[in-house]
Amino acid sequence: MATFKVNGVEHTLDIEPDMPLLWAIRDELGMTGTKFGCGIANCGACTVHVNGNAIRSCVTPVSAVEGQDITTIEGLAVAAAGTTSSALDLTAVQQAWIDHQIPQCGYCQSGMIMAVSSFLASNPNPTDAEIDASITNVCRCGSYPRVRKAIRALASA
Amino acid sequence: MQMNRRRFILTGAVVGGGVLIGYSATRPTRHRRANEELVEGSERFITSFIKIDPNNEITVYVPHSEMGQGIHTSLSMMAADELDAAWENVIVEQAPAIDLFANGDLVKGFAGEFGVPNFLMGLVNASAFTVAELMNLQTTGGSSSVRYTGEYAMRTAGAAAREMLINAAAARLDVPTSELSTELSHVQHNSSGRTLSYGELAADAALLEPPEDPVLKDRSQFTIMGKAISRNDIPAKVDGTAIYGLDAHSEDMLYAAIRLAPVFGTKLVSVDATQALTQRGVVRVIELEDSVAVVADNYWRAKQALALVNATFTETENDNVSSADIAARFDKELAESNGSEDKEVGDTDRALEEAVDVIEANYRVPYLAHAAMEPMNCTVHIQGDRAEMWTSTQDALGMRGRVASVAGLAEENVIFHQTYCGGGYGRRLPFNWNMIDHATLIAMEFDVPVKTIFSREDDMQQDYYRPAVHNNFKAAFDDNSNVIAWHSRFTGPIQVPGASHIPYAIENQSIRVVDGDTHVPIAAWRSVDHSQQTFFTESFMDEIAHRAGVNPYQLRMDLLQEHPRHRKVLEVAAAAAGYGQNLPEGHALGIAVQESFGSFVAEVAEVSMGEDNQPVVHKVTCAIDCGWAVNPDTVEAQIESGIIFGLTAAMYGEITIENGAVTQGNFPDYEMVRMATSPEIEVHIVESGEALGGLGEPATPPIAAAVTNAIYILTGQRVRELPIKNHDFALSNPVAQV
């Protein structure tokens, strides 16, 4: 049995402890916003938050998140709004992704947004070198120049 | 190119092998069929692509796959502008995968441009498809959607619908059409001040026959086209609600993991699945002709169990083939074969003999995988004599037809569910069938939906690749160091004609292609032949310039007197990049230009050598003449994307063959440009006002040569083989920029 919260809802699943969180989220819970890209924690398409910190769910066994709070792209805005304020439709990061017209095919962008959201929460005004070192997600469409512009805009906001 | 505006009839197009065909799709009646088959309530189709409902909401049906190029938005803009629709009331829908929405205009466009391209000809030659059926696809590729479907179908449909609405209004108001005008989804009778909404007129207008020759707007009349409009697909891509093929889901769904024969073309011999079958969730192990699949109730369980399957495959003559063997074969072919003519001008052999000086160079590029972020996948649900399917694709109708043919079903009995496409780049075109076929064959064993997924390793090792290509060049000079002959011999096949041709005024040119077939399957890869040929030709032009002692930019300008569009983009890119001006210490600029898919692109790369003796690309300045821009922000995004895609290939891209199979398996072996290695990109759109050019591909070709031309200045080393990462630049000997 594995028990963890996803976007505030507790789930108890009869699954193997070594099943990666990604496949528990996608195939067991049927939540598809979190993407499969490489399966070896290299591309970042599967990034989710565990207690607010970005992790790559394709190599994180469910046993490692027992009892933890998971946030996926579907729950990001609600998680950011907290329990007291009214629920936001989008976070500032998500809105910046629209303002800068970042996604192309968009498949990597759930993970990219989760990675950048966690990064900016801990480092609200990063240098370019810090962005380079921390945001290592792969975007095959090459949205990187726009991602950088959006991060800079968010940092100066 | 002369295009008959009466566009639904294609006759006499000479295709590929010279077959003369006549094809008529009487699409003027298609909107009637659409009204019979697709509408609900009192909404009406005015033409095949445009639906207007009584509350004046307008839906544009786009018959192309949205894979990040913004096509849903751009094509809707084109229809809506000609229609004089209020953009905020326009809804964009993916056209369903039914033949009513086939986009034969693309084929017609290509037929006029250079004959049907090879990546589509395969459909004619190697299958039951006929050219008439080719018109019946919904292909998205060849940077074609805006320039063909947009120009010939969407704008025409919008303009035709507008005329029909005016005619309906004239009858309703009993006034001549000349007294009527249109604006923001309304027809106005100016002298009486009466207005009718399109919604009020739709039912009457739908009964009219579409005009044969609707008048399109002049660019000065555009109200929507030419504006940077936000893409309609983006909101769903930031909140996790965008659905891709991989996201098909149902409670009773099963999942398949598959192991294909590692050496292309070999067959399955035997399987021991004893252990796999005991694993939790495993439903069945399925043996196919060239593969074995484990079907389970969760993809991870299927994948884990597959690792426990022992399978043997037939031995073939290719089992020991390596990249080195392929390279040796290509070199032998180039040395021994005269090949077949691609282009011959003047007498190159004689010019080479009589020349004062000749330089020779050998270039090569490796196979490349597409590596779309969404690994290949396909879900099929067989239901007796019917089926449903989900897959991210560049051709919905093509995929529907393939599933029907593999499963032995009638095409109209297969329902294709549209999704966004997590990257295509050519991988998801018809004929790259492996995923579709396997998913269908596996699903035929069940009566529930089965989702077959390629792991990243499968995706990389079972692709249809950008071919590995070798190119031998010679150039001859006269006693004034003028280049007088261009000799090019390269390994084929030619997938897109003309990519190896140069625009430069060189009197004698001999360009020939030799056999480059191997057992490695190939396909179109973003920009197709232009991806390798532009690296070759624009690098060798640079060699010619350095040999002649002429600045590479200036030599190009000198030899492009007959090509003003090339010159203009070169001029704009060079000026914007500060070409010829002082650069930061240790930086150099490399330049390259190429026309492809109807667009002209010049790129200037600013490069320095990093501490690890590998190049750092700081900035790429690009100028593109794509005629004019339908959505300028989308143009910029596609340029940025194309450059980074090409830069990834130039810096890191390499699929190698060992023991007949692909060596690389995942991203660490097949590295990508990421944030840290992504340059600043500056895009300049040159609006020549000429016919629309493509955008998805044309920015990819020039970048490799732009970077390696700069590396030459920095190090004195001419990179003649990609990827750049394989070169050692430790012993640099910088060259003075001439």
State which of B237, B260, B276 marks the end of a domain.
Answer: B237
Exposure string (b/e) for B411-448, b if CB count within 10 Å is 16 or more?
beebbbbbbbbbbbbbbbbbbbbbbbbbbbbbbbebee
Give the model's pLDDT for residue B27.
42
Quick one: tokens of B233? 């697909």
CA torsion, ordered B335, B341, B345, B349, to nearest 10 deg: 20
Cβ of residue A36 closer than 8 Å to a chain B Cβ: yes
B contact test, residue of A40, A70, A108, A140 with most B CBs within 10 A: A140
- Whether B256 has a pLDDT exceeding 90, the answer reads yes
Cβ of residue B231 closer than 8 Å to a chain A Cβ: yes
Cβ of residue A23 closer than 8 Å to a chain B Cβ: yes
State which of B453, B479, B499 marks the end of a domain.
Answer: B453
Q: What is the DSSP string of B511-570?
A: EEEE----SS-B---TTTHHHHHHHHHHHHHHHHHHHHT--HHHHHHHHTTT-HHHHHHH
Cβ of residue A43 closer than 8 Å to a chain B Cβ: yes
Between residues B36 and B413, which one has the greater pLDDT? B413
Cβ of residue B142 closer than 8 Å to a chain A Cβ: no
**Which chain B residues are closer than 8 Å to A135 by Cβ?**
674-675
Quick one: tokens of B668? 């660490």
Q: What is the DSSP string of B592-631?
A: EEEEETTEEEEEEEEEEE-TTSSEEEEEEEEEEE-SS-SS
For the residues A16-42, what does the mean pLDDT come to? 98
Residues A64 and A19 in one domain: yes
Residues B99, B86 contacting (CB under 8 angstroms): no
State which of A41, A74, A107 marks the end of a domain.
Answer: A74
- Whether B50 has a pLDDT exceeding 90, the answer reads no
CATH number, domain containing residue A129: 1.10.150.120
- Nearest by CB to residue A140, choosing from B70, B249, B372, is B372
What does the alpha-carbon distance between residue B443 and residue B382 come to, in Å, rounded to a whole number?
Answer: 7
Residues B202 and B267 in one domain: no
- Nearest by CB to residue B675, choosing from A20, A43, A135, is A135
Residues A73, A34 contacting (CB under 8 angstroms): yes
Contact flag A106-B233 (C-beta cutoff 8 Å): yes
Cβ of residue B644 closer than 8 Å to a chain A Cβ: yes
Residues B569 and B636 in one domain: yes
Residues A62 and A93 in one domain: no
Q: Which of B151-155, B177-181, B219-223, B328-332 has the lowest mean pLDDT?
A: B151-155
Helix, strand, coil % in chain A, rounded to nearest 5: 40, 15, 45
- pLDDT tens digits along A144-157: 999 999 999 999 87
> Residue B556's pLDDT band (boundaries 50, 70, 90)?
very high
Structural domain range at position B43: 9-237
Mean pLDDT of chain B: 89
Task: Return the beta strands (E) in B126-232 as ranges.
Answer: 180-183, 186-189, 194-197
State which of A74, A95, A113 marks the end of a domain.
Answer: A74
Contacts of B33 (CB under 8 A, 6+ apart): B100
Cβ of residue B600 closer than 8 Å to a chain A Cβ: no
**Which chain B residues are closer than 8 Å to A38 by Cβ?**
456, 666-667
- Nearest by CB to residue B641, choosing from A30, A104, A138, is A104
Residues B517 and B403 in one domain: no
What does the alpha-carbon distance between residue B134 and residue B141 come to, in Å, rounded to a whole number?
Answer: 14
State which of B237, B253, B281 marks the end of a domain.
Answer: B237
Give the model's pLDDT for residue B113.
45
Residue B111 belongs to some domain of the structure: yes
3-class DSSP string for A115-137 = HHHHHHHHCCCCCHHHHHHHCCC
Structural domain range at position A97: 81-156
Give the model's pLDDT for residue B442.
98
With CA atoms as reference, report the closest residue to B627 among B108, B61, B150, B5: B150
- pLDDT tens digits along B211-231: 777 899 999 999 999 999 999
- Whether B133 has a pLDDT exceeding 60, the answer reads no
Residue B108 belongs to some domain of the structure: yes
Cβ of residue B641 closer than 8 Å to a chain A Cβ: yes
Residue B710 belongs to some domain of the structure: yes
Contact flag B240-A72 (C-beta cutoff 8 Å): yes
Residues A70 and A117 in one domain: no
Question: What amino acid is encoded at B78 in this protein?
Answer: M
Residues B430 and B539 in one domain: no
CA distances from A34 to A49, B129, B170 (A): 11, 38, 54
Q: CA nearest A48 in B: which residue?
A: B240
Quick one: tokens of B516? 């480059």
- pLDDT tens digits along B230-244: 999 999 999 999 999
Residues A43 and A62 in one domain: yes
Q: CA nearest B250 in A: which residue?
A: A30
Cβ of residue A38 closer than 8 Å to a chain B Cβ: yes
Residue B357 belongs to some domain of the structure: no
Give the model's pLDDT for residue B738.
58
What does the alpha-carbon distance between residue B433 and residue B400 come to, in Å, rounded to a whole number?
Answer: 12
What does the alpha-carbon distance between residue B720 and residue B361 come to, in Å, rounded to a whole number?
Answer: 8
> Residue B104's pLDDT band (boundaries 50, 70, 90)?
low
**Which chain B residues are closer than 8 Å to A28 by Cβ?**
298
For the residues B436-461, what does the mean pLDDT come to? 98
- Whether B500 has a pLDDT exceeding 50, the answer reads yes
Residue B706 belongs to some domain of the structure: yes
CATH number, domain containing residue B448: 3.30.365.10
Give the model's pLDDT for residue B137.
58
Give the model's pLDDT for residue B132.
40
CA distances from B5 to B9, B80, B153, B211 (A): 9, 19, 10, 11
Residues A126 and A111 in one domain: yes
Q: CA nearest A108 in B: which residue?
A: B373
Quick one: tokens of B5? 């505006």
Report how many helices (DSSP H) and strands (DSSP E) chain B contains, helices first.
19, 29
Number of domains in chain B: 3
For the residues B319-326, what does the mean pLDDT come to? 98
Residues B134 and B171 in one domain: yes
For the residues A28-34, what does the mean pLDDT come to? 97
Residues B645, B700 contacting (CB under 8 angstroms): yes
Considering only residues 117 to 156 of chain A, which have any Cβ-Cβ distance to chain B shorter than 8 Å? Answer: 131-133, 135-148
Residues B529 and B400 in one domain: no
Cβ of residue B637 closer than 8 Å to a chain A Cβ: yes
Residues A26 and A70 in one domain: yes
For the residues B640-661, what does the mean pLDDT come to? 98
Instruction: Phi first, then psi: give them for residue B37, nearest 5 degrees.
Output: -95, -30
Between residues B732 and B28, which one has the greater pLDDT? B732
Residues B626, B685 contacting (CB under 8 angstroms): yes
> Residue B142's pLDDT band (boundaries 50, 70, 90)?
confident
Residues B80 and B19 in one domain: yes
Contacts of B571 (CB under 8 A, 6+ apart): B557, B623
State which of A46, A74, A102 marks the end of a domain.
Answer: A74
With CA atoms as reference, report the closest residue to A54 among A28, A79, A29, A90: A79
- pLDDT tens digits along A135-145: 999 999 999 99
What does the alpha-carbon distance between residue A35 and residue A28 come to, in Å, rounded to a whole number?
Answer: 14
What does the alpha-carbon distance between residue B202 and residue A30 come to, in Å, rounded to a whole number?
Answer: 41
Residues A126 and A89 in one domain: yes
Residues B228 and B268 in one domain: no
Residues B273 and B129 in one domain: no
Residues A54 and A26 in one domain: yes
The CB density around residue B3, as the number of other CB atoms within 10 Å, is 14
Give the model's pLDDT for residue B24.
23
Residues A29 and A86 in one domain: no
Q: What is the ipTM of this complex?
A: 0.97
Q: CA nearest B647 in A: which residue?
A: A142
CATH number, domain containing residue A33: 3.10.20.30
> Residue B401's pLDDT band (boundaries 50, 70, 90)?
very high
Residue B564 belongs to some domain of the structure: yes
Residues A98 and A62 in one domain: no
Residue B399 belongs to some domain of the structure: yes
- pLDDT tens digits along A70-111: 999 999 998 887 754 455 689 999 999 999 999 999 999 999
Residues A92 and A43 in one domain: no
Q: How many Å lie between the alpha carbon of A149 and the closest alpha carbon of chain B?
A: 10
Quick one: tokens of B53? 């409902």
Residue B209 belongs to some domain of the structure: yes
CA distances from B294 to A37, A95, B141, B246, B311 (A): 20, 42, 33, 18, 12
Number of domains in chain A: 2
With CA atoms as reference, report the closest residue to B135 among B29, B214, B22: B22
Residues A66 and A16 in one domain: yes
- pLDDT tens digits along B325-342: 999 999 999 999 999 999
Cβ of residue B379 closer than 8 Å to a chain A Cβ: no
Contact flag B645-A97 (C-beta cutoff 8 Å): no
Residues B529 and B433 in one domain: no
**Which chain B residues are closer than 8 Å to A143 by Cβ?**
637, 640-641
**Which chain A residues are closer than 8 Å to B453 by Cβ?**
36
What does the alpha-carbon distance between residue B271 and residue B285 come to, in Å, rounded to a whole number?
Answer: 9
What does the alpha-carbon distance between residue B29 and residue B43 come to, in Å, rounded to a whole number?
Answer: 17
> Residue B607's pLDDT band (boundaries 50, 70, 90)?
very high
Tell me the HSE value of A134 on the side-chain side, using a 13 A CA sphere: 24
Task: Return the beta strands (E) in B437-504 as ranges.
Answer: 450-453, 469-477, 483-491
- Whether B20 has a pLDDT exceeding 90, the answer reads no
